[in-house]
Amino acid sequence: MDDKNLKGHISLLIAYLIFGLNTPIAKEVLSHGEVSAVALTFFRMAGGAVLFWMASLFTKEETVSRRDLFLLFWASMFGIIINQFPFIIGLSLTSPIDASVITTLGPIITMLLAALFLKEPITWKKAIGVLVGASGALLLVFNSTTVDRGGSSVTGNLLCILSGISFAVYLTAFKKLILTYSPMTLMKWMFLFATVCSLPFSWGDVAQIRYAELPLNMYLEIGFVVVVATFVSYLLIPVGQKLLRPTIVSMYNYLQPLVSSLLAVALGMDIFGWLKSSAAILVFLGVYIVTKSKSLAQLEAEKQHADMLNTPNKLNVDKRK
């Protein structure tokens, strides 16, 4: 393994370990009741905006056109606001294991949207993967019961699915924009727009927190969500995406629910029974099948390669004639 591949693997390993830790830690913050899901999400957006703009002072500045600023505004709606608010509210209503397993549906949702908007072909392998993964998600959703500390709820799980759909829309609809600018430029503008837009309906929850009464461990947990799970992880993932193949990157999706589940069970926040185990296996298997199937670019590349191989044979036949 060369240095570049090693750097990519280390970046993704750290990022998805962080994501895995973030779900039960965020759930722990919300379980105390002093900080609402809306307030915690606003802290994440505002903190991310401040950190990304500060970090951007030490990187090469990119000029963003007015048209792309307009697109970045809408990208922040789907990539951050509609992605993060439903997820954290859904997490407050469901279990850490359910929420973390549902997040791995991302590749399946992205594939469906790519087929709808980018005309990506849906092969039999992809169709089977979608059916298998969706059956696991439905098993979680429709067997949800309670909203207790370790329990699940249909509403909470559906909100987590909505979060995944929103992020898949961001990846699909704004793919060209994502490839145009560096992660630092994208994140600093998107988090700024998200902070400004969410301030009016978040301020009430933020203002009513009794900050002086919050224990030190809660400040540390909120700090982890804002600094580590937002700023650090959002910088690490693009490194791995640039240095490793997409199929390898997609495999790291399975690390997040594994870490979340182990920590949640260890802290007594959740129980990993046969139902959740079966649902997780179905979701993982579905995502694996989808990520192993070929994209439109791969199919076209194979067709061009086959045409090149057949061209000499065709020329030889023509010469014999």
Tens of pLDDT, residue by residue over 72-120, are 999 999 999 999 999 999 988 888 878 877 877 777 777 777 777 767 7
Give pLDDT, residue 147: 44
Give pLDDT, residue 188: 95
CB-based contact 224:63 (threshold 8 Å) = no
- 179-237 pLDDT, tens digit each: 889 889 999 999 999 999 999 999 999 999 999 999 999 999 999 999 999 999 988 88
Q: Distance between the two ends of the chain, CA-based, in angstroms?
A: 51
**Segment among 7-16, 143-152, 164-173 with least mean pLDDT:** 143-152
123-156: burial string, b at 16+ Cβ within 10 Å, e else: eeebeebbebbbebbebbbeebeeeeebbbbbeb
Give pLDDT, residue 190: 95
132: nearest Cα among 281, 293, 258: 281
Give pLDDT, residue 280: 74
- 55-71 pLDDT, tens digit each: 999 998 899 999 999 99
- 132-150 pLDDT, tens digit each: 777 876 676 666 554 444 4
The total of other beta-carbon atoms located within 10 Å of residue 42's CB is: 23
Give pLDDT, residue 140: 65
- State how far the Cα of 44 lies from the Cα of 215, in Å rounded to an integer: 19
Give pLDDT, residue 108: 75
- 13-35 pLDDT, tens digit each: 898 899 889 989 999 999 888 99
CB-based contact 189:70 (threshold 8 Å) = no
Give pLDDT, residue 123: 75
CA angle 16, 17, 18 (to 5 degrees): 85
**pTM, 2 dp:** 0.77
Residues 6+ apart with CB under 8 A from 234: 48, 52, 183, 187
Give pLDDT, residue 242: 76
- 267-312 pLDDT, tens digit each: 777 666 777 778 778 877 877 777 676 555 555 555 565 555 666 5
Give pLDDT, residue 150: 47
Give pLDDT, residue 156: 85
CB-based contact 66:121 (threshold 8 Å) = no
Token pair, residue 243, equals: 């240095």
- State how far the Cα of 63 lies from the Cα of 30, in Å rounded to an integer: 39
- State how far the Cα of 285 lies from the Cα of 24, in Å rounded to an integer: 24
